[in-house]
Amino acid sequence: MTPSKLLNDYKWFDRTFTGKYANLDLGSEITLPISLSFFALPWRKELPLLLSLVPVIMLATLLASFMGKGHLLLPACSAIWFLIYIQVRKSRILTQLGVKSSAKDERQIRINQTHIFLPQYLTGTTIAIAKEDIASLVFHWVDYHDSHQLERKRAHAATVKQKNGREYHLSGMAYPLRSLLYLAIFFGYPVTLLQASPKAEGLIRFATLLAISVLTLNVVMLFVIS
């Protein structure tokens, strides 16, 4: 199947999705948001944030032993810690990427019929890549079944390959690849589709570890004070 035919393939793009592009034309320029919170941090920065939960739980346990409301205090303190953790982690991601909190251009991808605009932290400089300079937009995809057990297809990774040999990799965790694929096809960019199983995302593994750690600490401390 040629890429242009995918625009009407409901396995890729259902009616709800395509509806938001009902007024799209070749003169349009679309801005796609980037989820910076879903970038991974190095373990040397991630681990101290995770370990900060331990003194919080210890303090909550100490207070609970006097107040006698451990079943309420521990979950409440864990929830407050988690909200603070999210904000601190996001701040460190911005610092790592060199993105100012007010820099909107660093939080989005723009695409039109002639150019695609990638953020500076990805390319190293402010850049608009002309369509004619792109060798291929490679999208790695996989089959899956939705909640209604209908077969669907989604892109989980993409690579922007320029004719000069430069490549920029986009992860489905942070970048809106479904929209990017749809728009790239619509605007006539050279699109290549490769079926491949997604690699285990480090952030998913970390999120699982975080959830298990929080739950385990709460259960252990509730047992201690009971």
The CATH number that domain 3-34+111-195 falls under is 2.30.29
Instruction: Give the single-character DSSP code of 113.
Output: S
Residue 44 DSSP SS3: helix
Distances from the Cα of 107 to the Cα of 6, 62, 175, angstroms = 27, 42, 10
Going by C-alpha positions, the residue among 112, 87, 80 that lies closest to residue 36 is: 87
Distance of alpha carbon 184 from alpha carbon 167, whole angstroms: 16
Helix (H) or strand (E) holding 218: helix 202-225
Segment 13-62, tens digit of pLDDT: 888 888 888 888 999 999 988 876 656 666 677 777 777 777 777 777 76
Spell out the per-residue pLDDT of the chain, length 226, in tens. Answer: 567 788 888 888 888 888 888 888 999 999 988 876 656 666 677 777 777 777 777 777 766 666 665 556 677 777 787 788 777 777 776 666 555 555 565 678 889 999 998 887 777 666 789 999 999 999 998 887 777 677 888 888 899 999 999 898 888 777 888 999 999 999 999 999 988 877 655 545 555 666 666 666 555 555 555 5
Q: Where in the chain is the domain with CATH 2.30.29?
A: 3-34+111-195
CA distances to 39, 45, 176 from 32, in Å: 16, 28, 7
